[in-house]
Structure 1
Amino acid sequence: MQVSFKILRQTQNTEPTLRTYILDVESGNTILECLNRIKWEQDGSLAFRKNCRNTICGSCTMRINGRSALACKENVANELANFPGRADSPLAEITIAPLGNLPVIKDLVVDMRSFWDNLEAVDPYVSSSARSIAQREFLQTPEERSRLDRNGNCIMCGACYSECNAREVNPDFVGPHALAKAQRLVADSRDTATENRLENYNKGTQGVWGCTRCLMCNAVCPMEVAPMDQIGKIKQEILTRKDAQGSRAIRHRKVLINLVKTGGWIDERQFGLQVVANSGRDIKGLISLAPLGLRMLARGKFPFLFESSPGKAKVRSLIEAIQKLTSRKLK
């Protein structure tokens, strides 16, 4: 069958252009195989990265039909089934573009320096300085090793980084790939720097609190690492060690849970006062609430009363059961 491949072409500091290439393909052909044929048969100037061709190296990640994926893993049949193209087009279409959140060098090749720099920022190496035992391995039990299995599947392909909405609006955020690697180190029984790591990962929106929980990293990860879930595990480690005065981000989580446990849902009046104003301790935060409060009053939207949820007892029991389960897992 014939398929129209629309590829975004550009060089550094130039506007991208969309080029169309038509190929006779088989349904089982991978996108990488199709790109190879375009380069070999139609346009030798097309630039893209590749290496293993077997979903191991992560080199060939690009945006295929609008979401980041490995070109060696995705095939024509799946792409056409999930993204059939325009009804008025005489040919089935597959669009290919470079990764997001990274500057383009040429065509589908992007500059990965910020990706690697942010990985380096989480100090992604096991620290064993406190266990200086000459000529011995640091042994782990099967259970200790199993905690690292999922994170260990990461191939550093950049798909999660490309789709990260937090990274798009906050250039200081280290990214889901780095924090997934960070969680692996927090969970590693051989590491001796857990407390220092958690302090580092707790730094405002640069670390775990920069995650907006949009789920895009989980959705596109080809190895099912689930970076957002790993970020959540680091947050939980921090929350068990810090009280509500640790930071506004920590207070936000703790106050939200406490209010829901108390009333079944959030009392928005108390939420703003306790989180932003820190129950009156943060004068600047309290003052910052005044304009919003006045607008709500003027429009008759300020809730003077709070009614608890009829199911608050059930909600409380569910939260407490989850907290107990989480506490056992962290021990």
Structure 2
Amino acid sequence: MQVIFKVLRQKPDSTVRVQSYTLDVEPGNTILDCLNRIKWEQDGTLAFRKNCRNTICGSCGMRINGRSALACKQNVGQELELFASTTNGGIPEITIAPMGNMPVIKDLIVDMNSFWNSLEAVDPYVSTNARSIPEREFLQTPEERERLDQMGNCILCGACYSECNARDVNPEFVGPHALAKAHRMVIDNRDSETESRLEKYNTAKEGVWGCTRCYMCNTVCPMEVAPMDQIGKIKQEILRRHEAKDSRPIRHRKVLIDLVKQGGWVDERKFALLVVGNYFRDLRGMLSLVPVGLRVLARRKFPFTFEASQGTQEVRSLIESVQNSKQYNE
């Protein structure tokens, strides 16, 4: 069958142009197979990264039909089934673009320096200070090693970083790939820097609280690392070690849970005052809410009363059941 591949082509500081290539393909052909044929048979100037062709190296990350993926993993049949699009002549189309959140070097090749720098910022190495006998290797039981498997599957392809909405609006955020690796260090029993690591990751912009929980990293990860889940687990470790008064991000989470337990949903009259005003102890924080409060009052949007939701007791029981569970407290 014939398929049109619409490739976004670009050089640094130049306008993006779309170039179309028509190929006769089979449904089982991978996107990387098709790009290779375009380069070998039609246009030798087309630039993209590749290496193993087997979902191991992560080199061929790019945006395929609007979301980041590995070109060696996605095939034509999958793409046409998931994202059917045709031209006026009825020929199906597949759109290929460079990954996001990184500047384009040429065509589908992006500059990944910010990606690697963000990874380096979380110190993704096991500390050797924990060795009791430096000459001996670190030994782990199969169960201890198994805890690291999911994060260890990360091949650093950049798909999660490319789709990260938090990184898009906040360049200081280290990104889901880095924090997934960070969680691996936090739960590695060989590492001796757990407490200092958690304090380092406990920041509003660069660390775990910069995550907006959009789930895009989980959605596009080709290796099922689930970076957002790992970020959540780091947050949980931080929350166990801190009181609500310690910082606004921690207070935000704790107040939210407490209010839902009380009324089944959030009492908006209290939420901002408790979080920003630090339980009415931060006068400056409370004063900062005055302009917003006046605008809400002027537009008659302020809720003067609060009615608990139906099934509040059931909601409270569910939350307490989760909080008391073994998995929650591990």
Which TM-score band (shorter chain)? over 0.9
Q: Which moved more, 1:161-170 or 1:309-318?
A: 309-318
Structure 1 residue 37 corresponds to structure 2 residue 37: yes
- 1:172-321 equivalence runs, <5 A: 172-321=172-321
Residue aligning to 1:146 = 146
C-alpha deviations, 1:240-262, integer Å up to 9, x for none? 00001121000000000011111
SS of alignment partner, residue 56 of structure 2: coil
Q: TM-score, normalized by length of structure 1?
A: 0.97
Q: Which moved more, 1:299-308 or 1:193-202?
A: 299-308
2:136, 2:107 → 1: CA distance?
49
Q: CA deviation at 1:89?
A: 4.3
SS of alignment partner, residue 261 of structure 1: helix
SS of alignment partner, residue 20 of structure 2: strand
2:90, 2:312 → 1: CA distance?
57
* Alpha-carbon RMSD: 1.2
C-alpha deviations, 1:139-169, integer Å up to 9, x for none? 1122211110111100000000000000000
2:273, 2:265 → 1: CA distance?
16
1:201, 1:142 → 2: CA distance?
28
Q: Tell whether the 8 Å contact from 2:323 to 2:329 is kept in structure 1 after alignment.
A: no
1:175, 1:273 → 2: CA distance?
30
SS of alignment partner, residue 128 of structure 2: coil
Residue aligning to 2:25 = 25
C-alpha deviations, 1:180-212, integer Å up to 9, x for none? 000001010111000000000001121000000
Structure 1 residue 54 corresponds to structure 2 residue 54: yes
Q: 1:158 to 1:89 in 2, by over 3 A?
A: farther
Q: Tell whether the 8 Å contact from 2:59 to 2:157 is kept in structure 1 after alignment.
A: yes
C-alpha deviations, 1:93-132, integer Å up to 9, x for none? 0000000000000000000000000000000000121324
Letter in 1 for 2:117: D
Letter in 2 for 1:313: Q
Structure 1 residue 68 corresponds to structure 2 residue 68: yes
1:329, 1:78 → 2: CA distance?
37
2:12, 2:170 → 1: CA distance?
22
Q: CA deviation at 1:213?
A: 0.3
2:89, 2:288 → 1: CA distance?
53
Q: Tell whether the 8 Å contact from 2:322 to 2:328 is kept in structure 1 after alignment.
A: no
- 1:60-139 equivalence runs, <5 A: 60-86=60-86, 88-139=88-139
| Number of positions where the alignment pairs a residue of Structure 1 with one of Structure 2 | 330
Letter in 2 for 1:72: C
SS of alignment partner, residue 206 of structure 1: coil
**Structure 2 unaligned residues grouped into runs of 5+:** none
Q: CA deviation at 1:87?
A: 6.3
Q: CA deviation at 1:329?
A: 4.8
C-alpha deviations, 1:275-301, integer Å up to 9, x for none? 011122222221121122112222222
C-alpha deviations, 1:12-61, integer Å up to 9, x for none? 11111000011111111000000000000000000000000000000000
Residue aligning to 1:14 = 14
